[in-house]
């Protein structure tokens, strides 16, 4: 069996024994189920010496690396989000398209990027949460054959990937400087 296929499963709400990076290390927590930039995260994190935790409720192939770990949580509703929120800290960068998870991670002090490279911060998250709630209400009230579905994010583009790579690099450099200043 390939080491990359070895299951690494942890229950939600428990210390992940073996999944915790070294004290003070910069760590990227990836909300992996719908993340189109996992390969880019692995490459940039390796270049910066950052650790990566790929969190999902299903198996994903991850590179064989001491710094990259797959964390498979239960399939309970929001289990991956809960694990990420519990492990977010000022030393982590969270990559997610989930606005409510971004809000939780920001409250824990983490840096948060959408997979398009858009940063979530204290100044933007309130508006994003409010817009999400309004859109959910609008979708719930839709008439017609689509019912409460329709819309969704725009397709992921080459420009989004480029913007994400620039933002990821910038934030890992910043977090690395903070770590150096603390030592």
The alpha carbon of residue 148 and the mean position of all alpha carbons in its chain are separated, in whole angstroms, by 27
CA atoms within 13 A on the CB side of 181: 7
Number of residues written out for the chain: 183
Annotation: CATH topology of 3-14+22-121+158-182: Rossmann fold (3.40.50)
- Look at residue 18 in the predicted model and tell me its pLDDT: 61
Beta bridge partners of residue 105, listed in sequence order: none
Q: Please tell me the distance from the alpha carbon of residue 62 to that of residue 52, in angstroms, as a whole number.
A: 10
Confidence of residue 139 (pLDDT cuts 50, 70, 90): low
What is the pLDDT averaged over residues 145-156? 63
- Look at residue 122 in the predicted model and tell me its pLDDT: 78
Does residue 164 have a pLDDT over 60? yes
Does residue 141 have a pLDDT over 70? no
- Look at residue 12 in the predicted model and tell me its pLDDT: 37
Q: Please tell me the distance from the alpha carbon of residue 177 to that of residue 119, in angstroms, as a whole number.
A: 19
* Boundaries of every domain in the chain: 3-14+22-121+158-182
- Taking every pair of Cα atoms in the chain, the longest distance, rounded to a whole number of angstroms, is 60
Residue 139 burial (10 A CB sphere; 0-12, 13-18, 19+) = middle
- Look at residue 183 in the predicted model and tell me its pLDDT: 53
Helix, strand, coil proportions of the chain in percent (round to 5)? 45, 15, 45
Q: Please tell me the distance from the alpha carbon of residue 46 to that of residue 34, in angstroms, as a whole number.
A: 22
Q: Please tell me the distance from the alpha carbon of residue 163 to that of residue 158, in angstroms, as a whole number.
A: 9
The alpha carbon of residue 46 and the mean position of all alpha carbons in its chain are separated, in whole angstroms, by 17
Does residue 6 have a pLDDT over 50? no
Q: Please tell me the distance from the alpha carbon of residue 137 to that of residue 131, in angstroms, as a whole number.
A: 10
């Amino acid at each position: 069996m390939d080491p990359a296929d070895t299951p690494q499963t942890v229950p939600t709400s428990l210390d992940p024994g073996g999944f915790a990076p070294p004290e003070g290390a910069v760590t990227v927590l990836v909300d992996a189920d719908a993340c189109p930039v996992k390969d880019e995260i692995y490459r940039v994190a390796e270049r910066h010496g950052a650790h990566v935790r790929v969190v999902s409720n299903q198996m994903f192939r991850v590179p064989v690396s001491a710094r990259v770990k797959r964390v498979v949580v239960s399939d309970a509703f929001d289990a991956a989000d809960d694990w990420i929120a519990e492990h977010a800290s000022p030393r982590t960068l969270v990559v997610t398209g989930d606005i409510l998870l971004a809000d939780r991670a920001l409250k824990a002090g983490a840096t948060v990027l959408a997979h398009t490279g858009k940063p979530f911060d204290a100044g933007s998250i309130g508006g994003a949460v409010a817009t999400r709630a309004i859109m959910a209400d609008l979708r719930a009230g839709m008439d017609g054959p689509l019912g409460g579905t329709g819309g969704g994010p725009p397709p992921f583009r080459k420009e989004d990937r480029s913007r994400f790579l620039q933002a990821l690099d910038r934030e890992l450099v910043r977090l690395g400087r903070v770590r150096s200043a603390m030592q």
